[in-house]
Structure 1
Amino acid sequence: MKCFEYTGKEIFAQFGIPVPQGRMVMTAEEAEQVAAEIGKPVVIKSQVLSGKRGKAGGIKFADTPEEAKTAAADVLAMTVQGHPVQRILVEEKLKIESEIYVAITIDGAAKAPVIITSAKGGMDIEEQAEEDIVKVHLDVFLGLQPFLAKDLARRIGLTGNLAKSYADILQKMYNIMVRKDAELVEINPLVISEDQVIAADAKVTIDDSALYRQKDIPFVDEDMTEVEKMAKAAGVGSFVELGGNIAIMANGAGITMGTLDMVQLFGGQPANFMDAGGGTGVEGTAKAIQILLAQNPKVIFINIFGGITRCDDVANALAYVKKNIGIPVPVVVRMVGTNQEEGVRILREVGIEAYREMKEAAQKAVELSKAGEEA
């Protein structure tokens, strides 16, 4: 889950990372009030889950509370990178002497946290030459040792108190990553302003699987599609839209990934990833099927290896949805495992044939998805 900048800065402040004085507001009048409280020039920043807000016009400056009100009204009326602006952050305008980039994230290939930093931060960090970027992987058992933080400060050209402040901030960023279950903690830019090092921006992404123990962080669904929001509200396992035309449900992350791979192997286009989990039951499975239908697929492909999730429960859910709600597209089911025979019988009664082999079922789903297409 991505956090808004203002939430990221609240987390930074809790861990002692210096941030500009400011507050999130939702009206132009509130922006005027915050600017008056700050008592100096301010920056009005759109709060959307998108980069390059400045280039899109989503960041404006104001010297007085009256100007802040006007600027805030303009920004709140905008759509930035496809996101309507509903919140803005009003904070003091910093005197920027230089900009640093620093982030800690997870390198999936290396299976380790990695620090990425550069003395050339700011809006165009993606365009910096490779030699200007410093990357260091961390040992999760050792964490971020003080000597390494100091060495990184040296490698990007910092000395004295600035190097000490940078190293301290880096250590606190790592603490956030560990204690807040973050996948990404990024500051761009980390600015040097009048001999201080301040986080002028904040990007924090929390591991979705750990949200249950991060209750103090407000849940954000702005980067979800409407169907993903529907799945979240229904408590349907893990769900991600993928844009294809074969809606897929399976019971377990591994079998779901295998199902997506098999469909693609035969030239099909998965519409989604859905891990309906174990022991979902009839009601939960029925909700999951309705989520699949909300994508308007050409075919539904359900792949069940019965264990905790019983085949007859899945079959009863399918039968219920077909009889009471309707399923306007073909359904392909691969079903083996617990209560398999009963599940197959129930499906046959409503005109759905079940396959034993995943390969055969995947081929059939792809074939049906392409029915009517020109050769």
Structure 2
Amino acid sequence: MNLHEFQSKMLLSPRGVNVPEGQVASTKEEARDIAGNLKATGFAVKAQIQAGARGRAGGVRIVSSPEEVMAAAGDLLGRRLATEQTAPTGHLVSRVLVEAAVRPQQSLYLSLFVAPSTAEIVALAAAEGGDDIERRVLSGQARFEQLPLGTERSFDRSAAAGLGARLGLANGLIPSFVALLERLRQAFLELDATLIEINPLAVTAPGDFVAVDAKITIDDNALFRQPELLALREPSESDAIEIAVQNRNLNYVALDGDIGLVANGAGLGLATLDMVRVANGRPANFMDIRTTATSLDVAHGFALLLDNPAVRSVLVNVHGGGMQPCDTIADGLGIAMRRNKRTLPIVVRLAGNNAEYARFRFANFGCKVIDCPDMWTAVTRAVSAAQSGEGQP
């Protein structure tokens, strides 16, 4: 679960991490009033969307008066902000964070994450932060320093001091840096986080470390023991669809292609997606039908594909098992097609339990499907149909 910047700072501040003074606003007048109450000579107005590179996209404005704050907030609120990390349509800005502007003497990058190979917490840091840190690292203009922080509760302060030294911090700043890293590690454990990222981490003239921007990702599998964090979940437009589909016993992820995919089993679904890409096709989604799904659940999933104007063909790759026979999927498709008058090429590959009966059910529903004997034939047929516009109105 990804948190907004203001939510991340709200969690880090009581855990001893310095953040700029500020509040979140949903109207331009509210933004102006927040700025008026801040004891600052400069202000940052920041669009609250769950995506990086906001600054380069115009989503972060540095201004010098409450009136300019109101103008900046008015320009951002209600618009869709597209960054390098969003779809071309961008994300709707419904809130802005108004903060006292920070004037750093030095800007660092610092993050904590779980290393997949060792399952331990690792600190990743760079001497120069900023929203273009990835580009600068790839081009050799900057480098990351790593420090494994282990899996236990103990904290190696001497190793943390060594990381600070490798970042070029002055000797007088290293004790504060070690303390900050220890607090972040403790927050990481308390919050069941998979990522805490501070970029930039400002070093101010008095020698304080301030989290100018912050991002936290929480482990979804731990939310059952984090009810206060679960209450912070604010699904995006695409997340809302995916969560609704999960309640229908389907695993669904929206993509940006034109071939709707349906499979029963995550492995078969991923293999289908990979094969579509190998055949130069563009998947519009990943969909895994769980063994507990009913035909009505399946119909809901098919309806998503039929309602998506970008989808130009649908590929159904099903291997019936003991708990999920092929005819359940066939019934779901039949129900969806009766409810939706849109006609698309429906390419199916059926095998396993009740495959023949599923074909009979297709006929009963009047579903005109393209029945293929194997996966590769079905994949290439679906890709061809999408690329040629076959069956399009």
Report deviation, 1:19: 1.2
Q: Which residue of 1 aligns with 2:377?
A: 360
Report deviation, 1:164: 2.3
Comparing 26-35 and 212-221, the one that deviates more: 212-221
Map of 1:1-375 to 2, 5 A cutoff? 1-41=1-41, 42-76=43-77, 79-81=80-82, 82-106=90-114, 114-126=122-134, 127-128=136-137, 130=140, 132-136=142-146, 138=148, 141-142=151-152, 145-147=155-157, 148-160=159-171, 162-193=173-204, 194-207=206-219, 214-217=226-229, 218-222=232-236, 224-225=237-238, 229-235=240-246, 236=248, 237-296=250-309, 297-307=311-321, 308-326=323-341, 328-349=343-364, 350-351=366-367, 352=369, 354-355=371-372, 357-371=374-388
TM-score by length of 2: 0.81
Query: 2 CA distance for matches of 1:56 and 1:220?
Result: 22
SS at match of 1:35: helix
Q: Name the aligned partner's letter for residue 157 of structure 1.
A: G
Q: Name the aligned partner's letter for residue 386 of structure 2.
A: S
Q: Report the identity percentage.
A: 31
Comparing 150-159 and 210-219, the one that deviates more: 210-219
Comparing 8-17 and 50-59, the one that deviates more: 50-59
Q: Deviations over 1:182-213 (max 9, x none)?
A: 44321111111212111111122345565565
Q: Name the aligned partner's letter for residue 265 of structure 1.
A: V
**Cα distance change of structure 1 residues 80 and 322 upon mapping to structure 2, 3 Å threshold:** closer
Q: Deviations over 1:145-194 (max 9, x none)?
A: 42432221121122445222222322333344444444432111111121
Q: Work out the number of aligned pairs and report it.
A: 370
Q: Name the aligned partner's letter for residue 273 of structure 1.
A: F
**Cα distance change of structure 1 residues 153 and 372 upon mapping to structure 2, 3 Å threshold:** closer
Report deviation, 1:328: 0.6
SS at match of 2:199: strand
SS at match of 2:50: coil
Q: Which residue of 1 aligns with 2:86?
A: none
Report deviation, 1:315: 1.6
Comparing 64-73 and 327-336, the one that deviates more: 64-73
**Cα distance change of structure 1 residues 348 and 214 upon mapping to structure 2, 3 Å threshold:** farther
Structure 2 unaligned blocks of 5 or more:
83-89
**Cα distance change of structure 1 residues 213 and 354 upon mapping to structure 2, 3 Å threshold:** farther
**Cα distance change of structure 1 residues 245 and 69 upon mapping to structure 2, 3 Å threshold:** closer
Contact 1:76 1:88 in 2 (8 A): yes
Query: 2 CA distance for matches of 1:186 and 1:295?
Result: 35
SS at match of 1:255: helix
Query: 2 CA distance for matches of 1:287 and 1:163?
Result: 56
Q: Name the aligned partner's letter for residue 251 of structure 2.
A: S
Query: 2 CA distance for matches of 1:53 and 1:372?
Result: 37
Report deviation, 1:124: 3.7
Query: 2 CA distance for matches of 1:252 and 1:220?
Result: 28
**Cα distance change of structure 1 residues 31 and 339 upon mapping to structure 2, 3 Å threshold:** same
Contact 1:347 1:354 in 2 (8 A): no
TM-score by length of 1: 0.84
Contact 2:199 2:214 in 1 (8 A): yes
Report deviation, 1:49: 3.1
Contact 1:231 1:288 in 2 (8 A): no
Query: 2 CA distance for matches of 1:107 and 1:260?
Result: 26
Comparing 19-28 and 86-95, the one that deviates more: 86-95
Contact 1:28 1:69 in 2 (8 A): yes
Q: Name the aligned partner's letter for residue 200 of structure 1.
A: V
**Cα distance change of structure 1 residues 108 and 19 upon mapping to structure 2, 3 Å threshold:** same
Contact 1:344 1:353 in 2 (8 A): no
